[in-house]
Amino acid sequence: MKNPDITIIVPIYNGATYLAETLQSILSQTFSDFELLAIDDGSTDNSVDIVRTLKDSRIRLIQKNNTGLCHTLNLGIAEARAPYIARSDQDDVSFPNRLERQFKVMEDHPDVLGVFSYVTKLGSKHTWSNTDKVVMAPGALKKYQPIEDGCLEPSTIFIQTAALRFIGGFRQSYYPVDDWDMECRLTQIGSVLIMCEPLVAYRFQTNSNTYRFYTEMCNKTRWTKDSYKRRLQSIPELTFDQFMLAQPKDVWSRFNRFRKDSSRLHMRTAGNRYLDGQYLAAVGHLFAGVIINPADMARRIRRFIFHS
């Protein structure tokens, strides 16, 4: 039997609320030559039953004990039968032509290891495409720069299978910023592109890992950046504990890190509240973010005016 052109990995853990919508957005793609690896990481809800109700021969359901997201993704990479791997989280929605568009970019640029896209943020009341941070330009491509562009949404991943295997997939020790760590390591073995348009609707949720592990996420973001720069200089990476011990511990440095982290959290929460139609709460968090770090808001306003 011929192997498919694309393997789509959907890691699942108690994702019943939006899982059917996510899977249907994949099964309805204009590009049809793919396999869908639905990998359940020991869910205790009815996620597996939802997958089983979808009678499509392209779906391959894999069940395992709960070992965490990175192990689930790495199992998918090992199981993939296609030369390209795409990913979708269990609550995001791929636009109908996502796979077709990304496949064409990769076929037209055989020297490129992977291609990502921008996203539309999806809430219960509104959507938002972050035009204050990025320029939307359908059809345009740009080279991904990890430090300048930051972490790209994992649900937009479209990467050569061989490249993902070569770098060792995802590293659990970097969770919950394992995506950015993978993206940084990928750029250090070859070129990665961004499609300057949204091809995925990313669901903004209050109970997401960003909020539950925010302090850890901020510290590991700084660690990921440090590891990236060390690899560029052929210097051994530090462990997370070594990195934390090396951080400045004077009062001003600690306060400055706290101030910037708190401001970003307030800004993110403001966006979440707006998307869910909670306007007063959104204004409150926006105001708090501005008060804590006015320089960041000034940069956002300049970007928005310049991009408009």
| 285 and 192 co-located in one domain | no
Please check whether residues 182 and 269 belong to one and the same domain.
Answer: no
**47-56, 118-127, 179-188: the lowest-pLDDT one:** 118-127
Query: Do 13 and 111 lie in a common domain?
Result: yes
Check whether residue 33 and residue 121 sit in a common domain: yes
One domain, residues 183 and 218 = no
Domain C-terminal end among 203, 219, 247: 203
Q: Which CATH number fits the domain that encloses residue 167?
A: 3.90.550.10
In a domain, 174, yes or no: yes
In a domain, 1, yes or no: no
Of the three residues 203, 226, 250, the one that is the final residue of a domain is 203
Assign 295 a pLDDT band (cuts: 50, 70, 90): confident
- Whether residue 248 is found in the same domain as residue 106: no
The answer to whether residue 112 is domain-embedded is yes
Residues 127 and 147 in one domain: yes
User: Same structural domain for residues 289 and 179?
Assistant: no
Domain region containing 241: 209-307
Residues 232 and 262 in one domain: yes
In a domain, 50, yes or no: yes
pLDDT digits (tens, 9 = 90+) for 10-47: 999 999 999 999 999 999 999 999 999 999 999 999 99
Q: Is 72 a domain residue?
A: yes
Place of tokens 């997939």: 169
Residue 278 lies in a domain: yes
| pLDDT exceeds cutoff 50 at 308 | no
pLDDT band at residue 149 using 50, 70 and 90 as cut-offs: very high
Q: What is the pTM of this model?
A: 0.88
Query: For position 292, what pLDDT does the model report?
Result: 80
89 and 213 belong to one structural domain: no
The string of pLDDT tens digits covering residues 61-109 is: 999 999 999 999 999 999 999 999 999 999 999 999 999 999 999 999 9
Q: Which residue has the higher pLDDT, 97 or 307?
A: 97
Alpha carbons within 13 A on the beta-carbon side of 167? 22
Same domain, 198 and 247: no
Average pLDDT over residues 302-308: 51
Q: Which amino acid is at 202?
A: Y
* pLDDT tens-place string over residues 155-213: 999 999 999 999 999 999 999 999 999 999 999 999 999 999 999 999 876 555 555 68
Residue 20 lies in a domain: yes
- Give the Cβ contact number of residue 171 at 10 Å: 16
Q: What is the pLDDT of residue 110?
A: 95
- Segment 237-244 shows an average pLDDT of 97
Give how many domains the chain has, as a whole number. 2
Last residue within a domain, chosen from 183, 203, 223: 203
Are 139 and 225 within one domain?
no
